[in-house]
């Protein structure tokens, strides 16, 4: 085979490899974009749904009270652990204050403003205490911990 034919063959192989590489890069980029779009869409859908639930809940409580109320925020948190520990035993820091899950120990350093109601994996922040809201929060979260022993 002559040198010019070898050179042409090498150039053709190089071009084919580059074309394959470009195709793979395009597919990878398209996959990343598709995953990002799906992730954002899912986040938006669930955030919108949670807002609707909070608004409906606020309207329901306002109607019960006969006055407008403001719920600062009700947040769901990841469960940290279910570990039982003795009082004052060292443990990993809680991810929320007051604790909504994690090692069971007494904790008295609640430095939050307003009123905070905590249940297993949830926290409801209020600007001021309201017995109707507190009672409803307790009813919705009663016995929903991993150890359903509350009486």
Domain ranges of the chain: 1-66, 70-151
pLDDT at 4 exceeding the cut of 60: yes
Higher pLDDT, 72 or 93: 93
pLDDT at 145 exceeding the cut of 80: no
The DSSP secondary structure of 88-150, one letter per residue, reads T---PPPSSSS-SSSSB--------SSEEEEETTEEEEESS--HHHHHHHHHHHTT-SSS---
pLDDT in tens, 74-117: 778 888 887 888 877 888 888 888 788 888 765 455 445 678 88
Kindly state the average pLDDT of the residues 23-30: 82
Which pLDDT does position 15 carry in this prediction? 77
Residue 28 and residue 64: Cα distance in Å, rounded?
A: 54
């Amino acid at each position: 085979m002559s040198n010019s034919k070898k050179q042409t063959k090498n150039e053709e192989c190089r071009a084919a490899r580059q074309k394959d590489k470009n195709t793979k890069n395009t597919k990878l980029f398209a996959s990343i974009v598709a995953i990002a779009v799906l992730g954002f869409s899912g986040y938006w859908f669930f955030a919108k749904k949670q807002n609707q639930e909070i608004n409906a809940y606020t309207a329901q409580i306002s109607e019960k009270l006969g006055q407008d109320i403001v719920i600062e925020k009700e947040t769901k948190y990841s469960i940290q652990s279910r570990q039982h520990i003795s009082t004052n035993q060292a443990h990993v820091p809680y991810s929320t204050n007051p604790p909504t899950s994690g090692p069971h120990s007494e904790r008295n350093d609640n430095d939050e403003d307003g009123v905070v109601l905590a249940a297993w994996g949830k926290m409801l922040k209020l600007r001021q205490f309201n017995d109707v809201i507190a009672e409803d929060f307790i009813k919705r979260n009663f016995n929903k911990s991993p150890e359903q022993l509350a009486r």
